[in-house]
Structures are given as C-alpha cells and as structure tokens.
Amino acid sequence: MVQHQIEWNEHLCEDNPDITNEYMDFVQQFGYIVLFSSCFPLAGFFCFIANFILIRSVMNEFKYNRRPMPEISIGIGQFLYMIEFLSHCSIVINIAICYFTSQTYKTNFVDSVLETT
C-alpha cells in the first residue's frame, strides 16, 4: 500500500511540477525566516503578509476556475528532511550571529588582541 502511494506521488509530481515548485518556495521562505530572523525580525511578518495575499489570490481564482481534483498524499517527501536540516542549521547560525555581533565577543577577543599588539 505504501509503495503504491509513493509511486502515485511521484507520478503526480511528474505531471504537475507546480506542486514541487510551491513546496520549494515554502521551504525557501522558511529557510530565510529561521536562518536570518535574528538579523531582520520583521521577516516573519512580511512573509505572513505575502502568504496572506497569496491565499487571497488563490481563493479568488477558485471563484472563476474549476477546482482541482484532490489527491491523497502521505507526506511532503524530501522537503521534510530539508526543513529539519534548516531547523538544525538555524540554531547554530543564529547563535553565531548573536555572539559575533554582541559586545562580549568584541571585548573578549577583538579588544584584547589590539591591546597586546
């Protein structure tokens, strides 16, 4: 049963590459938010606004076009591993950004090296 569903999902992605592109857009957006939210905290809000406009436009299209046939899926496939990888990387990157831009790093390492020379 599961093997049949996996083959069916691959068949659907071959016929409709828009599904893969939409998943990739959402994963990219997630990556930008989690990796660089400490640099630009409003990024999450801007992504929320962009997604809100996107959802409204899709709802508007449904008024004039025939709705697509719903398909069963067991998950999002390899995109789940990408999201997990981004989540783990974001911890290290955000800690590094906060540390290297703080005064602690500057006083302990940069100023102490300049004083010794």
**Average pLDDT of span 15-21:** 66
pTM above 0.75, yes or no: no
pLDDT band at 49 (very low <50, low <70, confident <90, very high): very high
Contact 99, 105 (CB under 8 A): yes
User: What residue spans define the domains of the chain?
Assistant: 2-116
What is each CA distance from 43 to 21, 38, 89, 115, in whole angstroms?
21, 10, 18, 39
